[in-house]
Amino acid sequence: MLKVVLFDLDDTLVNQVGASRAALLDWLPELGLDLDDPEELVTAWGVIAEEAYERYQRREITFAEQRRIRVREFLGCDATDDEADELFSGYLTRYEAGWTAFDDAVPALRRVRDAGLVVAVLTNGDSAHQRSKLDRTGLAGHLDVVVASDDLPAGKPDPRAYAATCEILGVTPGDVLMVGNDVEKDYQGPVDAGLDAVLLDRADRHPGIEHRIRTLDEIAPGKMVGSDL
């Protein structure tokens, strides 16, 4: 019996990509970088950020260190830790100011809670940072439990992430439906760990996935099990 709907956070409930892109484009002139091809810079920043964040998720570096690596590699400089932190703050301030919840997020969370189910988040990220994001976007009050990867032995899609989350929630994997936008971390990983899962495919990029939705409006009582979506 379904007891918990477990949501991913970034680009599922919160428009993280949009906030990051807007912050970067506003930050670049401050760095004195050429804006003739801003999309190339946005792409480069994204690749560097993803690689650094994956290293953080593997526990190879700290959360602060992955930020410094992103600055140094993006700018091609040998900034000290303090210099890198100061540079990154120019991006971070803009990024945090741009955090917004998707319009379909709060209604979906309310419907799940109204159905008598536990509403939870499983996010790969620093707990304090992600909780701040939830507070700023007004999502925190609609959630019963928040689990971040630094609370766990490993991040998604490591099977230990889902097992440990179920232990925190006091349920078995079969009691949980995972909803998120990443095929590996929010769909295949959970399924392999024994959870039900539904892929949120806002851009219609994964038509081959059996259990997927295009918006969170499709999350509703009576349609809360992967095989029914």
pLDDT value of position 224: 56
User: Is residue 20 within 8 Å of residue 190, measured between CB atoms?
Assistant: no
Res. 226: pLDDT tops 60: no
Report the side by side order of strands in the sheet with 145-148.
145-148, 118-123, 4-7, 176-180, 196-200, 212-213
With bands split at pLDDT 50, 70 and 90, how would you rate the model's confidence at 221?
A: low
Instruction: Give Cα 76 to chain centroid, integer Å.
Output: 27
Residue 220: per-residue pLDDT: 81
**Which is nearest to 11 in space by CA: 157, 197, 196, 183?**
183
Q: Count of CB atoms within 10 A of residue 214's CB?
A: 13
User: Once rounded to an integer, what is the mean pLDDT over residues 31-44?
Assistant: 84
Residue 63 scores a pLDDT above 90: yes
Alpha-carbon span 175 to 64, nearest angstrom: 35
CATH superfamily for domain 4-14+100-228? HAD superfamily/HAD-like (3.40.50.1000)
Instruction: Give the per-residue pLDDT at 33.
Output: 77
Residue 38 banded pLDDT, cuts 50, 70, 90: confident
Q: What is the DSSP letter of 86?
A: H
Which residues make beta-bridge pairs with 176? 4
Output the pLDDT for position 227. 45
Please report the pLDDT score of residue 32 as a whole number. 84
Contact 211, 195 (CB under 8 A): no
Supply the angle between the helices 81-97 and 16-31 in degrees, to the nearest 10: 130
Radius of gyration of the chain measured on its C-alpha atoms: 18
Model pTM?
0.92
Residue 122: pLDDT over 60: yes
Give, for 133, the enclosing helix (H) or strand (E): helix 127-137
User: What would the pLDDT profile of 86-107 be if each residue is shown by its tens digit?
Assistant: 999 999 999 999 999 999 999 9
Please count the other Cβ atoms lying within 10 Å of the Cβ belonging to residue 66. Answer: 20
**pLDDT at site 104:** 98
Mean pLDDT across the chain, nearest whole number? 94
Percent of the chain scoring above 90 in pLDDT: 87
State the average pLDDT over residues 182-205: 97
* b/e per residue 125-140 (b: at least 16 CB within 10 A): bbeeebbebbeebebe
> Average pLDDT, stretch 61-90?
96
The dihedral through the CA atoms of 117, 119, 124, 128 has a sign that is: negative
162-168 average pLDDT score: 98
- 78 pLDDT exceeds 70? yes
Mean pLDDT of 186-212: 96
- Average pLDDT rounded to a whole number, residues 117-137: 96
Give me the sign of the Cα torsion angle 50, 52, 53, 59: positive
Per-residue model confidence (pLDDT) at position 7: 98
- Residue 26 pLDDT more than 70? yes
pLDDT at residue 31 greater than cutoff 50 = yes
pLDDT for 5 beyond 80: yes
